[in-house]
Amino acid sequence: MITSSPAPNPVLGIFWMIVTGLCFVAVTALVKYLGDDMPAAQSAFLRYLLGLVFLLPMISSLRAISFTRRSLGFYSLRGLVHALGVILWFYAMTQIPLAEVTAMNYLSPIYVTLGAALFLGERIALRRVLAVLAAFVGALIILRPGLREISPGHLAMLGTAMLFAASYLMAKRMSGEVNAAVVVGMLSITVTICLAPVAYAVWVPPTATQLFWLFWVAAFATAGHYSMTLAFAAAPITVTQPVTFLQLVWAVTLGALVFGEAVDVFVIIGGLVIMGSVLVITWREAVLRREARRAIATP
């Protein structure tokens, strides 16, 4: 008996993507609120350590894992790469405005496109090349090198986007071999392990208040990833992806109202350019997938 997949529900997909954006903005706001009283590596470690409680529903899937030397090396390498990205992200949050962190984070899908072409052998058409170039123009609009000082926080965010893109490409490579819950669960475990020695080296005694807010950082991050999964299941990515731009709107608003950050029109313009590039790439990939399905369905 053939079971058809649920019909797309664009309204539900948009709703879940809005929830996702609110969760991720809440994460950035809480990390910003915590400031730099605690070293970035320690904050990142505690966020992942406290977040391990959310792995309890995955225990049965994780216990059933049959490790090979290759898979264990893959999980470990991805955990290390992602851990470095998380440290840089936590550091950037204490150095530059919320809006700039959010806008520069949109570069990750661009790096994923480049990485897929360079390391996974995917073909990259001229249209996607132009979209990638446009995204880098957007990054230059935000950074404005030569017109203002590029801070260590900006460099940290560039590194974050690259490392998160590398982590995503590794997950994509593993997704066809193991359950999605295993990929997510092993990431949380390996990142916690990789962050532990770095956190120990810079450790300062955390306060109960810091632990309380870091637990909520972990909770919002987990909820955001879960609601994003629901959004992708409810509607095509071409419907849900444009909604992610609202994160920049909320970050600008929150930064201005709560943290007293000035609204930078160059950050908004640059973020729009980068997001437009991501949308072009997303739309083009969706078109290619539809054409491939039609070709398979045609006798």
CA separation for the pair 267, 51 (Å, rounded) = 32
Q: What is the pLDDT of residues 214-255, one digit of tens each?
A: 999 999 988 887 888 788 777 776 667 677 778 888 888 888
pLDDT at 211: 94
Specify if 5 maps to a domain: no
User: From residue 40, how far is each of 10, 166, 201, 263 by CA, in Å?
Assistant: 38, 21, 12, 25
Query: d(Cα 275, Cα 253) in Å, to the nearest integer?
Result: 18
The domain tally of the chain equals: 1
Is 161 domain-assigned? Answer: yes
Give the best-scoring range by mean pLDDT among 70-84, 227-241, 283-297.
Answer: 70-84
60 pLDDT higher than 90: no
| All residues at 6 or more sequence positions from 90 whose CB lies less than 8 Å from its CB, including other chains | 31, 40, 41, 43, 44, 47
Domain that holds residue 179: 10-297
> How many CB atoms neighbour CB 270 within 10 A?
26
DSSP letters spanning 21-85: HHHHHHHHHHHHHHTTSS-HHHHHHHHHHHHGGGGGGGHHHHHT----HHHHHHHHHHHHHHHHH
Q: Confirm whether 1 is domain-assigned.
A: no
